[in-house]
């Protein structure tokens, strides 16, 4: 019985990692292609190969997940709100992607 519980736990962890990978891939797609205007026009982000200089450099800023969600949903300064053009799932995936590529592993 204990072995079954361990195997189920391992399987769940594996699925969670897979879901996270899928979510960050969706987030990268939103950053580079889906959002209109594209995030790459305004923001620098090394992983996305973007060098926009209108908005903050996300590699330097290292925003939190909540900061990204709030900024994308509501807009900030000249940045438009994407609440009506992106789904909640897309915005959350975008936040997960930015967090995953800007967080220091050390």
How much is the pLDDT for 18?
44
> Rounded distance, CA 16 to CA 5, Å?
16
Domains and CATH numbers, the chain: 21-102 (1.10.760.10)
- Give the model confidence (pLDDT) of 8-65 as tens digits: 445 454 444 445 568 899 999 999 999 999 999 999 999 999 999 999 999 999 999 9
Model confidence, pTM: 0.78
How much is the pLDDT for 38?
95
- Give the model confidence (pLDDT) of 57-76 as tens digits: 999 999 999 999 999 999 99
The alpha helices in 1-87, defined as continuous H runs, are 2-29, 39-42, 58-61, 65-74
Beta bridge partners of 51: 44
How much is the pLDDT for 61?
96
Cα–Cα distances (Å) from 34 to 4, 37, 70, 86, 94, in that order, read 42, 8, 18, 8, 10
Asked if 54 contacts 80 with a C-beta cutoff of 8 angstroms, the reply is no
């Amino acid at each position: 019985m204990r072995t079954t519980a361990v195997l189920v736990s391992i399987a769940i962890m594996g699925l969670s990692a897979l879901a996270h990978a899928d979510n960050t891939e969706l987030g990268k797609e939103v950053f580079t292609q889906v959002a209109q205007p594209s995030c790459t026009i305004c923001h620098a982000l090394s992983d996305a190969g973007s060098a926009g200089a209108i908005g903050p450099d996300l590699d330097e800023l290292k925003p939190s997940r909540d900061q990204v969600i709030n900024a994308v949903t509501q807009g900030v300064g000249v940045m438009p709100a994407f609440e009506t053009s992106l789904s909640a799932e897309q915005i959350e995936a975008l936040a997960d992607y930015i967090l995953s590529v800007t967080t220091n592993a050390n």
